[in-house]
A and B are shown apart, each in its own frame.
Chain A
């Protein structure tokens, strides 16, 4: 279609003619989308880490002497939020202590008879359920005492929730910011062409025809910004992960390249959507006015 070719050619001309403004817009969009991309990765990693830690969260229920361990384990498993239970006999407890102490194993042998109490190790579905479940187990007759990382569990689930909410807020703010910047840029090009638009409309151009180059201009800028942001995020992410793993060896991070491709796709889609909406809004009212009679 000839008019589509014209629109792209002219949209490109607009980008080139206002090259200073174009660069400024692309860099701003890039910064905004970088923030979006980086915060998304951050939140996903926090979630990932929290879920890993949650996996390791357990309740230790120490059992009164002479109780049937398997029966108690069954009873605890019956609780709704419990994922699984593991019976730790006196022997197993000693075994674990041995491995943990390593070459100090002699000290354990010195104790003579095994002094360790048997226990049941309980894992729950979510970190937030740990305290509650622990209470339920504690009131059972056969249970002597429970030990669990209550505050840690609660903090973890809070961190995860907060990271999620924070990222939503950030996403909205970043979206609006990039929208406003793109909107203003398109506005400026529209006004710089005010007379031309009036002439085009006077000789019979439809509003769509007149609007298209501006919409494409906005699209090109937003698209370029998002693409650059993606390249930057991708480039910095893996080197950051390597450093973080060095500093925090006990944490695990997301390392699949698929994740990055998905993120890139998301960023570019966001960029395209925001820029399309912003430039349509910027150009629509103006052209409507140009077609209105005196």
Chain B
């Protein structure tokens, strides 16, 4: 799923400029790192792409969906096509770990059997099978993050937005998750990943987009994490 932002500016009330005149073109199948200091606008950019936020100016199109005038029902369909790993996880606290993952498949109308099979498999992939009957508040930060990842990828999304997906994980678990994301990308999913982790960016070299105070200040193929000393 490809992604275009043209002239996207987001100003939050009263006058916080979170994004300013952002132009981006991401092709289907790319793996892109989004870097930048805290508060630079990475999450806001992703929320524009999920249409949780609508830009003050500019247009966004994702895989043929024009987000500015998308209808409510189409918005639901669009969100089923993409996967999002939220920075704050956004899990459903009253559903068990397994039910959380099953939920996205259920709303897509899959059969109960297929739903259970695929959700179980995804939980195993992120190493949470033993925790399947626990509720999110009972899970550790890292476990919650892995659950959020499982839910985001269980529907094999065409586009995955990953907002700091390894922020709460120890280095070895983080690396496992990174391998998981790379393999999903190799299978065709476009990935946009916001990260503060220099190790990954410098080890698994891909395109790097750097934001500074809401502006794109760098966009290079196989870039390094911190070329300008801004991150």
A residues less than 8 Å from B50 (CB atoms): 202
CA A195 – CA B47 in complex, angstroms? 16
State whether A203 touches B84 (Cβ < 8 A): yes
- SS of A interface (majority): helix
B107's nearest neighbour on chain A, judged by CB, is A205
B residues less than 8 Å from A291 (CB atoms): 72, 75
User: B14-58 toward A: CB 8 Å interface, digit per residue (1/0)?
Assistant: 000000000000000000000000000000000100111110000
Tally chain B residues at the interface, Cβ within 8 Å.
33
For this complex, 11 residue pairs linking A to B, each with C-beta atoms less than 8 Å apart, are: A201-B76, A202-B50, A202-B52, A203-B80, A204-B76, A204-B80, A206-B73, A209-B107, A291-B72, A291-B75, A294-B54
User: A280-294 toward B: CB 8 Å interface, digit per residue (1/0)?
Assistant: 000000001001011
State whether B90 touches A293 (Cβ < 8 A): no
Which residue of A204, A288, A293 contacts B52 across the interface (Cβ within 8 Å)? Answer: A293
Which residue of B77, B84, B115 contacts A202 across the interface (Cβ within 8 Å)? Answer: B84
Stretch of B91-99, B188-196, B221-229 lying at the A interface:
B91-99
A6 at the interface (CB under 8 A from B): yes
B55's nearest neighbour on chain A, judged by CB, is A293
- Given the known inter-chain contacts A2-B111, A196-B93, A293-B54, please indicate yes or no for A205 contacting B76, CB distance below 8 A: yes
Which residue of A3, A199, A206, A293 contacts B51 across the interface (Cβ within 8 Å)? Answer: A293
Within 8 A of B (CB), among A245-294: 288, 291, 293-294
A200 at the interface (CB under 8 A from B): yes
State whether B92 touches A204 (Cβ < 8 A): no
A residues less than 8 Å from B111 (CB atoms): 2
A residues less than 8 Å from B108 (CB atoms): 204
- Given the known inter-chain contacts A199-B92, A204-B80, please indicate yes or no for A3 contacting B106, CB distance below 8 A: yes
The 9 A-B pairs at the shortest CB distance, nearest first, are namely: A204-B80, A204-B79, A293-B54, A206-B76, A294-B53, A199-B90, A205-B107, A204-B76, A203-B104
The interface centre, meaning the residue of A200, A209, A293 with most chain B CB atoms within 10 A of its CB, is A293
A28 at the interface (CB under 8 A from B): no
A residues less than 8 Å from B107 (CB atoms): 3, 200, 203-206, 209
A131 at the interface (CB under 8 A from B): no
Within 8 A of B (CB), among A181-221: 195-196, 198-207, 209
State whether A207 touches B72 (Cβ < 8 A): yes
Interface residues on A, range: 20 to 34
**Shortest beta-carbon distance from B95 to chain A in Å:** 9
A residues less than 8 Å from B94 (CB atoms): 196
A residues less than 8 Å from B92 (CB atoms): 196, 199-200
The interface centre, meaning the residue of B54, B72, B78, B80 with most chain A CB atoms within 10 A of its CB, is B72
CA A288 – CA B73 in complex, angstroms? 11
B residues less than 8 Å from A202 (CB atoms): 50, 52, 79, 84, 86, 90
CA A92 – CA B220 in complex, angstroms? 120
B200 at the interface (CB under 8 A from A): no
**Shortest beta-carbon distance from A287 to chain B in Å:** 10
A residues less than 8 Å from B151 (CB atoms): 203
CA A205 – CA B103 in complex, angstroms? 9
**Shortest beta-carbon distance from B90 to chain A in Å:** 5
State whether B106 touches A203 (Cβ < 8 A): no
B108's nearest neighbour on chain A, judged by CB, is A204
Within 8 A of A (CB), among B152-206: none
A residues less than 8 Å from B110 (CB atoms): 2
User: A1-31 toward B: CB 8 Å interface, digit per residue (1/0)?
Assistant: 0110010000000000000000000000000
B151's nearest neighbour on chain A, judged by CB, is A203
User: B52-87 toward A: CB 8 Å interface, digit per residue (1/0)?
Assistant: 111000000000000000001101111110001010
A206's nearest neighbour on chain B, judged by CB, is B76
User: B134-166 toward A: CB 8 Å interface, digit per residue (1/0)?
Assistant: 000000000000000001000000000000000
B residues less than 8 Å from A198 (CB atoms): 90
B83's nearest neighbour on chain A, judged by CB, is A203
CA A70 – CA B198 in complex, angstroms? 118
